[in-house]
Amino acid sequence: MCLDTVDKKPTVTEGEGWKVFSLCGDKYETILMRFRGKPHSDATWLSASGMGFIHNTLDEKYRKGFHLFRTRAGARHFFCAHSNECVLRVSFRQVTATGKQWGHDAIVAREIYIHPKGSKSAPVER
């Protein structure tokens, strides 16, 4: 997954959004271009590894990180409807880029927090 268009400057620095995960028992795996990452528990901050860059089809460059959507609808658009995938609410910080992905506002962040299912509270600081 990469941004279709990249904003000249990120429009947010932190906040909440939505991300698609693959279920792995009681843990969640991040999805990267349909490949799976290692399983993670909820209620924890995750940090992106690697500091490289991504180039989209317009040759716009931005630093790697977790790709997520501002709205649940945006994440559901990416959602593949496979029985083992779900859309979860996440908090994000250390934003490297914002832009559009499939017509929806998207964010790339170095850190995300997976909210426990049914949680409405803000994440605890690490």
Bigger pLDDT: 65 or 29?
65
pLDDT-based confidence at residue 82 (cuts at 50, 70, 90): low
Q: Does the residue 80 lie in any domain?
A: yes
Q: What length does the chain have?
A: 126
Q: Does the residue 59 lie in any domain?
A: yes
Alpha-carbon separation of residue 71 from 1, 14, 17, 23 (angstroms): 16, 14, 6, 20
Q: Does the residue 123 lie in any domain?
A: no
Of 2-6, 46-50, 94-98, give the lowest mean pLDDT range. 46-50
Q: Does the residue 86 lie in any domain?
A: yes
What pLDDT score was predicted for residue 81? 54
Q: What is the pTM of this model?
A: 0.84
Q: Does the residue 13 lie in any domain?
A: yes
Q: Does the residue 119 lie in any domain?
A: no
In a 3-state reduction of DSSP, which class is residue 77? Answer: helix
| Total tally of structural domains belonging to the chain | 1
